[in-house]
């Protein structure tokens, strides 16, 4: 999409505020748009409002001038229901912006729309509907504060929706990591094991997800890794957070795969993933961080291959993107579930895969990629 006259107010803006109150994974999906915005306005002052959980990552970006955290999550990464305090904080900011951009497709989530309403800006830009034209904002009174812009229905991935929002042009699948300057300083705190992995390259397994329905079971990971881990030259490692340690220990003890769960802070993990040769993943921050470095991702989705790929569980809107990435789905849903997505609250349909065929596919992809990175 070419930059058009309807976005002239961005082309002339000197003070820009981007609102992105997300958790770690979704925040990674705005990085290409932030990069585009800086290229469009190289001399503008760009302020970025983010949730407190992504602040340490966001402050490392070279494409923004100021990063301000908003307390949206508590110590257990659960959303705090305190919209008044957050809105009051934003409303009390002294800056008056030329343009405020709400870079979130589901703009009534994480208080995003009220935050846009509270900020002082001449123009407020954002989608005035959610992912479906039939699904209006949960906070319709704020709709008047959003500039309704044309939405290109052919754009399916969240990365490209964010770019479309600012009127950016075509974005190549390889992210310009040198311009964003994120993850360039990998902190090596284990010189014996992690140093060797970082220098020789490795394959990764990302077992964590914010929703249990998107997770592969321990039995499924063991079955798959038993079939593939010894058939590639590089080692496999398990990546995840502190909440994944017990699951990772069980997988590691049965497969011999190295368990590195909870060994990295988020910014360290982004740096460590630079030397990853390929990753098996469910929907997670680790997956999006790998895509940021154009690591080939094989992602597992709980939705059957016959379902609508544009639903939340479909893997297209929030799935792996970039060169070499694939999304793997079960052919049919399990009992009591539907084509549109798994209805279970725990790991269910995502385990309905032919692991022998899947192992052959993974080996073909990884063996082809390992010499290219």
pLDDT at 139: 42
Judge whether 22 lies within some domain: yes
Residue 359 sits in a domain whose CATH number is: 3.40.50.2000
Beta carbons of 310 and 339 less than 8 angstroms apart: no
Q: Which of 127, 156, 180 is the last residue of a domain?
A: 180
Q: What is the CA radius of gyration of the chain?
A: 21
Here the tokens at position 256 are 């011999």
Among candidates 359, 133, 288, which has minimal Cα distance to 367? 359
Residue 131 confidence (pLDDT) above 50: no
For the ranges 159-173, 255-269, 337-351, the lowest mean pLDDT is seen at 159-173
Judge whether 32 lies within some domain: yes
When pLDDT is averaged across residues 159-184 and rounded to a whole number, the result is 65
Same domain for 21 and 151, yes or no, is yes
The pTM score is 0.84
Here the tokens at position 120 are 């002082």
| Interval 245-279: pLDDT, tens | 999 999 999 999 999 999 888 888 888 898 899 99
Same domain for 205 and 166, yes or no, is no
Same domain for 250 and 353, yes or no, is yes
Range of the domain at 323: 194-369
Residue 289 confidence (pLDDT) above 80: yes
Q: How confident is the model at residue 239 (pLDDT cuts 50, 70, 90)?
A: very high
Q: How confident is the model at residue 360 (pLDDT cuts 50, 70, 90)?
A: very high
Residue 144 confidence (pLDDT) above 50: no
Residue 201 confidence (pLDDT) above 60: yes
Judge whether 289 lies within some domain: yes
pLDDT at 352: 92
> What percentage of residues in the chain have a pLDDT greater than 70?
76
Judge whether 186 lies within some domain: no
Judge whether 117 lies within some domain: yes
Here the tokens at position 268 are 């360290």
Residue 345 confidence (pLDDT) above 90: no
DSSP code, position 142: G
> What percentage of residues in the chain have a pLDDT greater than 90?
29
Q: How confident is the model at residue 133 (pLDDT cuts 50, 70, 90)?
A: very low
Same domain for 224 and 355, yes or no, is yes
Cβ atoms < 10 Å from Cβ of 208? 24
Same domain for 244 and 325, yes or no, is yes
pLDDT at 74: 67
Residue 85 confidence (pLDDT) above 80: no
For the ranges 24-28, 55-59, 75-79, 364-368, the lowest mean pLDDT is seen at 75-79
Residue 128 confidence (pLDDT) above 70: no
Judge whether 246 lies within some domain: yes
Q: What's the chain's length in residues?
A: 373
Same domain for 47 and 110, yes or no, is yes
pLDDT at 76: 60
Residue 281 confidence (pLDDT) above 50: yes
Judge whether 188 lies within some domain: no
Mean residue pLDDT of the chain comes to 80
Q: Which of 180, 208, 243 is the last residue of a domain?
A: 180
Could you give phi then psi for residue 76, rounded to 5 degrees?
A: -100, 15
Same domain for 112 and 254, yes or no, is no
Residue 184 or 118, more confident: 118
Among candidates 109, 151, 135, which has minimal Cα distance to 1? 151
Same domain for 274 and 171, yes or no, is no
Judge whether 123 lies within some domain: yes
Residue 121 or 4, more confident: 121
Residue 173 confidence (pLDDT) above 70: no
pLDDT at 140: 46
Same domain for 107 and 234, yes or no, is no
Q: Which of 148, 180, 212 is the last residue of a domain?
A: 180
Same domain for 40 and 101, yes or no, is yes
Residue 120 or 217, more confident: 217
Cβ atoms < 10 Å from Cβ of 245? 15
Total domains, the chain: 2
Same domain for 53 and 174, yes or no, is yes
């Amino acid at each position: 999409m070419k930059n058009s006259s309807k976005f002239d107010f961005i082309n002339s803006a000197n003070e820009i505020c981007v609102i992105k109150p997300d958790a770690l994974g979704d925040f990674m999906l705005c990085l290409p748009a932030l990069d585009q915005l800086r290229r469009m306005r190289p001399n503008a002052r760009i302020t970025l409002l983010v949730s407190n959980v992504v602040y340490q990552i966001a402050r490392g970006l070279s494409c923004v001038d100021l990063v301000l955290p908003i307390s949206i999550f508590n110590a257990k990464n659960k959303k705090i229901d305190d919209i008044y305090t957050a809105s009051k904080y934003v409303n009390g900011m002294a800056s008056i912006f030329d343009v405020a951009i709400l870079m979130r497709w589901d703009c009534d989530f994480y208080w995003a729309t009220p935050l846009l309403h509270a900020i002082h800006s001449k123009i407020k830009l954002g989608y005035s509907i959610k992912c479906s034209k039939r699904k209006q904002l949960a906070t319709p009174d704020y709709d008047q504060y959003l500039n309704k812009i044309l939405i290109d229905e052919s754009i399916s991935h969240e990365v490209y929706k964010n770019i479309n929002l600012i009127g950016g042009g075509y974005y190549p699948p390889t992210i310009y990591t040198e311009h964003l300057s994120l993850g360039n300083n990998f902190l090596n705190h284990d010189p014996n094991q992690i140093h060797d992995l970082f220098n020789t390259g490795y394959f990764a397994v990302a077992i964590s997800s914010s929703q249990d329905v998107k997770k592969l079971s321990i039995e499924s990971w063991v079955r798959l890794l038993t079939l593939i881990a010894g058939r590639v030259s590089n080692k496999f490692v398990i990546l995840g957070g502190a909440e994944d340690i017990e699951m990772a220990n069980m997988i590691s003890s049965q497969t011999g795969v190295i368990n590195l769960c909870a060994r990295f802070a988020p910014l360290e993990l982004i740096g460590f993933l630079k030397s990853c040769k390929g990753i098996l993943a469910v929907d997670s921050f680790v997956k999006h961080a790998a895509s940021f470095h154009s690591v080939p991702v094989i992602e597992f989705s709980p939705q059957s291959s016959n379902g609508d790929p544009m639903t939340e569980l479909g893997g297209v809107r929030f799935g792996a993107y970039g060169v070499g990435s694939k999304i793997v789905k079960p052919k049919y849903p399990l009992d009591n579930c539907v084509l549109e997505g798994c209805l279970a609250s725990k790991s269910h349909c995502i385990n309905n895969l032919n692991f022998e065929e899947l192992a052959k596919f993974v080996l073909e992809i990884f063996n082809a990629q390992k010499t290219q990175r």
